[in-house]
Amino acid sequence: MINRVLIRIKVLQLFFSYQLTLEDNPDRDIFKELATCFDNCYLLYFHLLKLPLDLAYLHLRQADDARHNGLERPDLSVETHDRFFENSVLEDLRNNTMFQSYCEKHPEVSWNDDALFLKLLLDRVRQSEVYQQYMALPLVNRVRDGRFLRDLMRDVLLVDPEVLANLENKHSLWTEDDVDLIGQFVIKTLRRVESSDARAIMPMFRNRDDAHFGELLLRASIDDMQYNSDFIDDLIDAKRWGADRVARMDRIILCQAIAEAVHFMSIPTTVTLNEYIELAKNFSTDNSGMFVNGVLHTALHRLRADGVINKP
């Protein structure tokens, strides 16, 4: 679930923070913090998966209360009021043993601690076009159930500002960028549940290499920081760009990119180049993408010429 794109982002954020606080906190356990970051990403994955389940359960309770009290509610008609809760894909997710096991071990994976928030969110869900079109269908099937949940997640829940605010309140380290990235894995998971994939719930890491990639990359970036920073200054001076005018984040991005190029022979340089240009565009200044592109191209050319790297 946590792929190398996300790993690079989390390493970059911690590498940048580490450089800022090194003098004030030399004993900081940055590698423990990285492991915690990954645990939190996985926790967010389950939190987002749990959201439609908690909404559907609240919907069912409200429908039952209205029915028992003889209340007339057009949004909870007899024909459709159970459709949300009985959605076949949600039912399979609810009964998934890996999902159940994680939630049992992490009781904080719940949205029921804020009843008012959940009620108001359910009201917004019912008003959404996605929900109303689903409820207007004369009949539903597995494909329509799955499409509804994916559309609900993508077009309603993941873009709701109150959902984002609630998540940030639950965990100070969760950001809108995290929700965007992890949300894509949640949508993929719902598609896998729809197709009855026995491995629908994604593991934290795809394989052992990915599980160790973050720690190795962070260690290499820290160990080589001074050498790579001096190397970058030489390249910039040669091009007369002015080393003293390089944005701090650009320097950190370049140092991490060079560390990856040097220490991970299985990763093509084109992959490293493209990934860090995107990081520069997303996490630094407006001109950083072009700047990192130019410096990194020059750096990789020099590293090949000096025999430091020998890969495409």
Residue-wise pLDDT tens digits, 141-169: 999 999 999 999 999 999 999 999 999 99
pLDDT digits (tens, 9 = 90+) for 251-260: 999 999 999 9
Is 74 within 8 Å of 43 (Cβ atoms)?
no
Question: pLDDT-derived band of residue 71, with 50, 70 and 90 as boundaries?
Answer: low
Is 31 within 8 Å of 219 (Cβ atoms)?
yes
Residues 6+ apart with CB under 8 A from 245: none
- pLDDT of 69 strictly over 70: no
Token digits of residue 124: 């917004």
**Whole-prediction pTM value?**
0.92
d(CA 64, CA 67): 5
pLDDT digits (tens, 9 = 90+) for 25-44: 778 899 999 999 999 999 99
DSSP characters for 2-60?
--HHHHHHHHHHHHHHHHHHTTT-TT--HHHHHHHHHHHHHHHHHHHHHHHHHHHHHHH
Question: pLDDT-derived band of residue 104, with 50, 70 and 90 as boundaries?
Answer: very high
3-class DSSP assignment, residue 159: coil
Q: Which structural domains are found in the chain, ordered by start?
A: 42-194 (no CATH), 224-305 (1.10.940.10)
- pLDDT of 289 strictly over 90: yes
Token digits of residue 147: 């499409």
User: Using CB atoms within 10 A of its CB, is residue 72 exposed (0-12), middle (13-18) or buried (19+)?
Assistant: exposed
| Average pLDDT score over the chain | 91
Residues 6+ apart with CB under 8 A from 119: 58
